[in-house]
Amino acid sequence: MADEKDWVSQAERPEGDGRLQYHIRCREGDVADTILLPGDPDRVAKISSYWDEFKEISDYREHVVHTGKLRGMNISACSTGAGGPSTSNALEELAAIGGRNFIRVGTTAALQPDIALGDLIISTGSVRFDGTSENYVSLGYPAVAHYEVVLALIEACEKLGFSYHTGITATTASFFCGQNRPGFEGYRQSWQQTRHEDLVAAKVLNYEQEAGTILTLAGLFGLKAGAISVAIANRATDEFVYGGVNKCVEAGNEAAHILHQWNEERLTKRKKRWHPSI
């Protein structure tokens, strides 16, 4: 890994020798084209434990990167850290060295009372309160998951027998006030409650902090991306139990393999896009 003293680069887009990326400390050839994106660095090891083989590529700041093999396919995982800024750094740099398919694997708080703790939520799109994607494009641009990734996540949950929901996520820049939780010493503003109630009325399924950034940037850059999260909290019922992460990890890995199979099928049939009747 390069030391700080080794960085001599253009400031506009810092890269080291061999296109070493500044934040994730990976080069071309270090990552697969399909990459799982947990927020928590410790979750990378959970993800790669399902693989046939893997090696740690880097561990720098909030970004841990593993690359390996899952049933014959090349696969990587890179932690994003919490929130939009570090997530955008990771996605930018992963794309620069060959990442093309991205699946966020995370935890979330449900907003609707019928979502049980431990259920999985597949994001078809996101409300962009992430505070980062607006630096790339106006808020009128939608954060939409790629249809193949959504279908692969659904297929994975069906195959594994996991309870899941599909719908719109709200990605926020703050775990506390941004998600209608009181801040330090009970601090709050009136808009918090109003926005929360509006999201619930609009049938938004959940709060989290990274999907909106990933989906927006993937759309802008022509990449495929989606997100799956496990509900560890329900704001409607005021419950919180941290668990079910392994289910989310297993579903993410399975979906990555399904995407790989579909892509092979698409290439064999010489089709531009995968579709169910291919």
Residues serving a catalytic function are: 23, 93, 181, 235
Residue 70: phi and psi, rounded to 5, are: -130, 105
Say if residues 211 and 132 touch (Cβ distance below 8 Å).
Answer: no
**Contact call for residues 64 and 56 (beta carbons, < 8 A):** yes
d(CA 57, CA 25): 8
Give residues with Cβ within 8 angstroms of 75, minimum separation 6. 32, 34, 35, 36, 51, 67, 68, 69, 253, 256
CB atoms within 10 A of CB 214: 30
Our measurement of the distance from residue 100's CA atom to the centroid of its chain's CA atoms, rounded to an integer in Å, reads: 13
Structure tokens at 227: 């997100």
Q: Which amino acid does the sequence have at 135?
A: N
